Amino acid sequence: MISIQLKDGSVKTYEKGVTILEVAKDISEGLARAAVAGEVDGKVKDLHTPLTVDCSLNLLTFDTEGGKHTYWHTTSHIMAQAVKRLFPNVKLAIGPAIDNGFYYDFDSEKTFTPDDLKAIEDEMQKIIKEDLPLARFTLSREEALKLMETEPYKVELIRDLPEDAELSFYKQGDFTDLCAGPHLPSTGRVKAVKLMQLAGAYWRGSEKNRMLQRIYGISFPKKSDLDDYLFKLEEAKKRDHRKLGRELDLFDILEEGPGFPFFMPKGMVLRNQLEDYWRQEHQKRGYQEVKTPVILNKELWLRSGHWENYRENMYTVAIDESDFAIKPMNCPGGMLVFKRKLHSYRDLPQRMGELGLVHRHELSGALHGLMRVRCFTQDDAHIFMTPDQIQDEVIGVIDLIDDFYSVFGFKYHVELSTRPEKSIGTDEMWERATTALQGALDAKKMQYKINEGDGAFYGPKIDFHLEDSIGRTWQCGTIQLDMNLPERFDLSYIGPDGEKHRPVMIHRVVFGSIERFIAILTEHFAGAFPVWLSPVQVKILTIAEKHLAYAEECKAKLQVQGVRVELDTRNEKIGYKIREAQMEKVPYMLIIGDKEVENSQVAVRSRRDGDIGAMDAEDFQAKILEEIKTRSR
């Protein structure tokens, strides 16, 4: 007999060799129908996996991350099988589940078209109706190479695996693929499928390799879930920051600078509002602002570890016969700022903020508006502290980030990321740093997920994932605890004992990058920014030329108070002017005609609420100033 601990903490005993699915059926037939996989001691497994030793078991439905990935991974195999049936000469590359669905890469002499996607989708429905069981089996290296001899990409993958690696395959009807799994029990478990788009992708992400054709798709257990997803996708297209950035004349990416954004005057107003808010809030919390150079000597990047661990993403330049790099991160410059002076423990913590411009080389295919660029401004801060100040400082940053996100109406969830495979520092340092971050989260009673192996190369981190108005998540804020760079840069402070001690350091951002945060805000608000952020807060519309003098007077009074106002005196019908201002997403329109001039009033129209009616000009001024002051949404 074996003991199995379930998610609720209860323990059940079963005969050795019981499958995950059999355990699910024993608990509930409904759970067995909903389950798509099982998490055994933290690893996701097929439902048909036999359990042979004592373990913990979490039964996964589609609503879980592991469940979704199992579901979408199986759907990628169904798509590959459909492609091979329709186009037998196609060569298979890889087909993983991703955050929103799945894809498969194919090497085909034929260029796929939207009509081909429809045919592939139809063939997938046939395979789903066939309800083919997915059977896992393993082979020796020699047997695996023979089985895949007509699939060159699979052969390459097999040869690149370690000699002692288990080579597993999944077979469904007439289709077999090299795969570690896990998968659904059968193709019939997939219900609603949609192939979304075609794209090009280099084999293994290298421009030196052959360009493959990638097909993206999505699937759900219910058609209603698919319909809801497609609705949100259409809504996302309407909110696309690239489209809105051009329409509202905020920002753009031009051919002359791929990955290097241009900000227009209205975009600069939005950007400056965010930066001003950042500065005000940081000053309240004892941060000092610094500015470090964009280009620094190679020796600095060797010392920091970036040259070894991040070289492929850095731009370099020769100056006076020496090698320099354009900074991809602000932290090494922050080290030099701290190192300039001798510090006492009484000076700590020191909180230094920087709105620093960084450059990172991104492949052209990865660029996406302001979301993925080659130069951006990080709202960095580096906090230097004694070891006993760690928890309080991390809690202070958590509170700061929470305050920021609440202003914009964002909900968020938190992940704690641990040591990655490529990293610097000792095991002891990493253990201390990770424990300190966990301690701060626990002290705040925050729920968080542990993201194994996804930390920065110099330390563990807490990541904040925002949820926008249509349910998408974006990773923005991060808190990274670093005991490595202070060691590499030989940073020190004088302790109470008069001896030198090594400070601990926090790297952290709130916005993440100003550019990306503006993109997220643009899509979150669909370009209809809150009054305090709007590039134009009020548009005054005159009905006739005789109303111009009073309109100018109203404009001047608002401008004196710092309100951003535009005046539309064109000889156009008032309805046309209102529609244009509405399209420009201006929060308030003030319409001025005979009655308004006579009564020293303004007819107020709100972007959100429509006609509000006549107000005294002074009353409207008080209303909008209060909204700006409180940063009302």
List, in order, residues 6 or more apart from 589 with CB less than 8 Å away. 538, 539, 540, 541, 578, 581, 582, 604, 605, 607
What value, to the nearest 5°, has the Cα angle with vertex 53 and ends 51 and 55? 80
- Dihedral angle sign, alpha carbons of residues 443, 449, 453, 454: negative
Distances (CA, A) of 448 to 79, 437, 482: 35, 11, 20
* Alpha-carbon span 191 to 125, nearest angstrom: 9
Strand order through the sheet with 315-319: 295-297, 322-326, 315-319
* Alpha-carbon span 232 to 13, nearest angstrom: 44
* Alpha-carbon span 429 to 481, nearest angstrom: 10
Residue type, 342: L
List, in order, residues 6 or more apart from 195 with CB less than 8 Å away. 79, 117, 120, 121, 124, 215, 216, 217
With helix as H, strand as E and coil as C, how does 354-421 read? EEEEEECCCCHHHCECCCECCEEEEEEEEEEECHHHHHHHHHHHHHHHHHHHHHHCCEEEEEEECCCC
* Alpha-carbon span 568 to 578, nearest angstrom: 10
Q: Identify the DSSP state of 133.
A: B
Neighbours of 194 (CB within 10 A): 18
* Alpha-carbon span 532 to 131, nearest angstrom: 56
**β-pairing verdict for 2-6 and 211-220:** unpaired
Q: Are 156 and 19 in contact (CB under 8 A)?
A: no
Which is nearest to 105 in space by CA: 246, 206, 234?
A: 206
List, by residue number, the catalytic residues.
331, 360, 378, 380, 382, 461, 507
| Residue located via tokens 């020191």 | 350
* Alpha-carbon span 447 to 413, nearest angstrom: 8
Distances (CA, A) of 86 to 80, 118, 175, 184, 480: 10, 12, 13, 23, 50
* Alpha-carbon span 514 to 521, nearest angstrom: 10
Phi, psi of 100, deg, nearest 5: -130, 70
At 496 the three-state DSSP class reads: coil
